[in-house]
Amino acid sequence: MKSIVLNTEEIRKRFGGVHALRDGSIDVRSGEVLALVGANGSGKSTLTKIITGVLTQDSGLVYYRNEPVQYHNPMAAQKAGIMAVYQELSLVPSLTVAQNIWLANEALKKSGFVDDKAMIEKTKELLKLFEGTYQSSLHPEAYVHSLPPDEKQIVEILKAISRNPEVLILDEATASLDSKQVNRLFGLIDKLRDEGKGLVFVSHRMDEIFQIADRAVVLRNGTTVGEVLISEASENSIVRMMVGSESEIIKETDLVYDIENKDIVLEVDDIRSEKLDGVSFKVFQGELVGIGGLRGQGQSSLLHTLFGNNQYAGTISIFGETIDFKHPKEAMRQSVALIPGDRASEGLLLIRSILENFHLPNWKAYGKPLLKINKARKDAQQMSEQLQLVMDALDSPVSSLSGGNAQKVVIGKWLLRNPKLLLLDDPTKGVDVGTKSEFYKLLINLVEGGTTILFYSSDDQELLGLCPRIMVMHDGKIRADLSKEMLSEENLVAASMGATSESNNHKDL
């Protein structure tokens, strides 16, 4: 057996009330590639960030070469020989490729001046590792902000490799690379493995894990649940470990959906954009369709494309009409509403009254010839009753509401426009349990009232508990369209990892 170069024992980490890690334990062996596998929120990123000193754990120990270590910043971890390639890149856009690769590791002349020439030469050497897989725009003196995503990722990889690490963590390093580039990277990983380095490989692509890894550790809900040798594992066995034996899904509803005699509300045909790679589907009137998958596979982008925020190729028809929204305003006019998941952009005016916030996008409807404040007040009152808003009065400021109630105002202000198609972009991220269940009730009420809802959530349990149909996205495609007997956590997880076995049965409507 190969020797362990780095291991973690029972790492715990909490963010506020949320346990990101309960028991993160992994063993990284030199000369081996360890795949770190888990669904959204399983704690992969948190664990890698603790190892590299970006975050500090609440308890538990990291051992490096059998010594307990505690890195308080990335600098210390790097000095010890632990490097990471991050998915959310650690490049400075306003610096050049060479400056980025050698940042905090500059070649210096004897006088202490930065030796640019030497660094440019060394960068050229490094770029040869990926020669032929990138465009001529990638050269040592190119500014990073001018590079396309795949080339940025290459720079990020080269930066890590240039530091000659003992332990290298690759966190979704292949996400934006094409197959040629991935092969080149795997060649590099093979070389590092032969040199006896310890490698950790995080990926949402099951085929890559089977191609490059020697061993896999599975995390579930912040806990290490098992370790397998890849040579002895199958995609199914790993998916089963990710899902677990005891199902924790609480059904919020026994909503069944019957598509017979229903109109098609939304039909999407082969839309492509920067993040979407040929997405097609149909949604029927009154459907509650979940969109799942690991984070960042194009889910948000899909919703924003439907809302007219992104440029795309392909056709979208809503209520039978082909549309091409240039601006969200046009989407709103067609009774489409998008509720963003990002709290900062939810657009609540905290110090203003609930009434004003409700009507922020709607004043026009009450404006002619004079402001019909009484009608506006009546409608707002009705909405607050429909939402079961707990408040003093319509005139109290939004800041007097609890978090969950404030979120209801966000939704209510769009509901007042009577949307027929509601797009939800991970709306329950970081919301407490009580608020969530009220939110689910609201969605069910809306669907029963005839509203069609597309609901993206990064929480698998939530989707499974609520939606009679879930579309799973992977690498900008809809990997599986699950409903009825196909709708299971195993199929959802398998599809979100791009596993080929069971998830391939695209259900035809």
Partner 1 sequence: MSNPKKLNIGAWWKKLNVKYSLGLPLVLLIVTTLLSFLFQPNIFRPNVLSRLLTSNFRTWLPVLLVTIGQAIVLIGGGLDLSNGSIASVGNVILALTVVSADETGKNVVMVLAVIVFGILAGFINGVLTAYLGLQPVIVTFATSYIYSGLALLMLPTPGGAIPRVYTDVYRNTSLLGIPISLIIIGIIVLIWSIFRNRKYGRFLYAVGGDANAAYTTGVPVTWMKVSTYVISGLLAAFAAIFYSLLTGSGFSDSGGDMTLSSVTGAVLGGVAMRGGIGSVIGAVFGGIVLGNIRNIISSARINSWARTLVNALIILIALAGPGLLNLFRRKKFNERNKS
- Contact residues for partner 1 (CB under 8 A)? 52, 54, 73-75, 78-79, 84, 86, 89-95, 99-100, 103-106, 108, 112-114, 143, 159
Whichever of 308 and 468 has its CB closer to partner 1, that residue is: 308
Whichever of 54 and 129 has its CB closer to partner 1, that residue is: 54
Rounded to a whole number of angstroms, the minimum distance from the CB of residue 275 to partner 1 is 18
Rounded to a whole number of angstroms, the minimum distance from the CB of residue 71 to partner 1 is 11
Rounded to a whole number of angstroms, the minimum distance from the CB of residue 65 to partner 1 is 20
Rounded to a whole number of angstroms, the minimum distance from the CB of residue 343 to partner 1 is 19
Whichever of 102 and 281 has its CB closer to partner 1, that residue is: 102
Q: Is the peptide bond before 68 cis (omega within 30 degrees of 0)?
A: no
Whichever of 94 and 236 has its CB closer to partner 1, that residue is: 94
Rounded to a whole number of angstroms, the minimum distance from the CB of residue 60 to partner 1 is 21
**Structural tokens at position 89:** 């890149």
Spatial neighbors of 101 by CB under 8 A, at least 6 apart, are: 119, 123, 126, 155, 158, 159, 162
Whichever of 106 and 502 has its CB closer to partner 1, that residue is: 106
Half-sphere exposure of 88 (CA within 13 A, CB side): 4
Whichever of 112 and 369 has its CB closer to partner 1, that residue is: 112
The structure tokens 């369709």 sit at 289
Whichever of 87 and 357 has its CB closer to partner 1, that residue is: 87
Half-sphere exposure of 134 (CA within 13 A, CB side): 25
Our separate counts of H helices and E strands in the chain read: 16, 21
Whichever of 78 and 123 has its CB closer to partner 1, that residue is: 78
Distance from C-alpha of 326 to C-alpha of 471, rounded to nearest angstrom: 26
CA dihedral for 282, 288, 293, 299, sign (positive or negative): positive
Rounded to a whole number of angstroms, the minimum distance from the CB of residue 11 to partner 1 is 19
Distance from C-alpha of 426 to C-alpha of 292, rounded to nearest angstrom: 10
Helices 116-127 and 149-162, interaxial angle, to 10°?
110
**In angstroms, what is the C-alpha Rg of the chain?**
25
Distance from C-alpha of 65 to C-alpha of 173, rounded to nearest angstrom: 25
Whichever of 73 and 399 has its CB closer to partner 1, that residue is: 73
Rounded to a whole number of angstroms, the minimum distance from the CB of residue 187 to partner 1 is 25
Spatial neighbors of 64 by CB under 8 A, at least 6 apart, are: 5, 6, 80, 82, 167
Whichever of 180 and 327 has its CB closer to partner 1, that residue is: 327
3-state helix, strand, coil in the chain (%, to 5): 35, 25, 40
Rounded to a whole number of angstroms, the minimum distance from the CB of residue 448 to partner 1 is 42
Distance from C-alpha of 176 to C-alpha of 250, rounded to nearest angstrom: 35
The structure tokens 């060479």 sit at 98
Rounded to a whole number of angstroms, the minimum distance from the CB of residue 353 to partner 1 is 27
Rounded to a whole number of angstroms, the minimum distance from the CB of residue 175 to partner 1 is 17
Whichever of 89 and 406 has its CB closer to partner 1, that residue is: 89
Q: Per DSSP, what are the bridge partners of residue 224?
A: 219
Rounded to a whole number of angstroms, the minimum distance from the CB of residue 171 to partner 1 is 11
Looking at residue 176, the DSSP 8-state letter turns out to be: T
Rounded to a whole number of angstroms, the minimum distance from the CB of residue 503 to partner 1 is 34
Distance from C-alpha of 435 to C-alpha of 469, rounded to nearest angstrom: 23
Length of the chain as a residue count: 509
Distance from C-alpha of 315 to C-alpha of 317, rounded to nearest angstrom: 7
Distance from C-alpha of 477 to C-alpha of 471, rounded to nearest angstrom: 10
Rounded to a whole number of angstroms, the minimum distance from the CB of residue 93 to partner 1 is 6
Distance from C-alpha of 453 to C-alpha of 447, rounded to nearest angstrom: 7
Whichever of 86 and 281 has its CB closer to partner 1, that residue is: 86
CB 283, CB 303: distance < 8 Å: no
Q: How far is C-alpha 475 from the chain's CA centre?
A: 11
**Structural tokens at position 289:** 């369709």
Whichever of 91 and 266 has its CB closer to partner 1, that residue is: 91
Q: Is 67 helix (H, G, I), strand (E, B) or coil?
A: strand
